């Protein structure tokens, strides 16, 4: 992913599953900003994705690691909880 972004800075994988998995890996590797970038707007791009709530919890954890993003992290957790309780769109 890092190599791809070097040549194509606006690149996003075309799969919700790939974005979700990469975001988790990048967060564990200490790259929270890239993790946030992958999850951001995932609920709009892929409303039927079954792991949306998990993805937004990853994003909230990533935001917690960024300076002055704790308010956004809490908003993200609220969204993740809402997504967890709604039925999956098909």
pLDDT in tens, 31-74: 999 999 999 999 999 999 999 999 999 999 999 999 999 999 99
Range of the domain at 22: 15-85
pTM, rounded to two decimals: 0.88
Q: Is 9 within a domain?
A: no
Q: Is 45 within a domain?
A: yes
Q: Is 10 within a domain?
A: no
The DSSP line for 45-56 is H-TT-TTHHHHH
Q: Is 2 within a domain?
A: no
Tokens of 1: 């992913």
Q: Is 6 within a domain?
A: no
Q: To the nearest whole number, what is the mean pLDDT of the chain?
A: 92
Q: Is 68 within a domain?
A: yes
Q: Is 53 within a domain?
A: yes
User: Taking 60 as the threshold, does the pLDDT of residue 89 lie above it?
Assistant: no
CATH number of the domain residue 31 falls in: 1.25.40.10
Tokens of 79: 């969204």
Look at the chain and report how many structural domains it folds into.
Answer: 1
């Amino acid at each position: 992913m890092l190599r791809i972004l070097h040549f194509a800075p606006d690149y996003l994988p075309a799969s919700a599953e790939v974005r979700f998995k990469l975001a988790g890996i990048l967060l564990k590797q200490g790259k929270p900003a890239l993790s946030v970038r992958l999850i951001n707007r995932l609920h709009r791009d892929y409303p039927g994705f079954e792991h949306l709530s998990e993805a937004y919890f990853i994003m909230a954890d990533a935001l917690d690691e960024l300076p002055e993003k704790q308010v956004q992290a809490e908003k993200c957790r609220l969204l993740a909880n809402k997504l967890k309780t709604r039925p999956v769109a098909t």
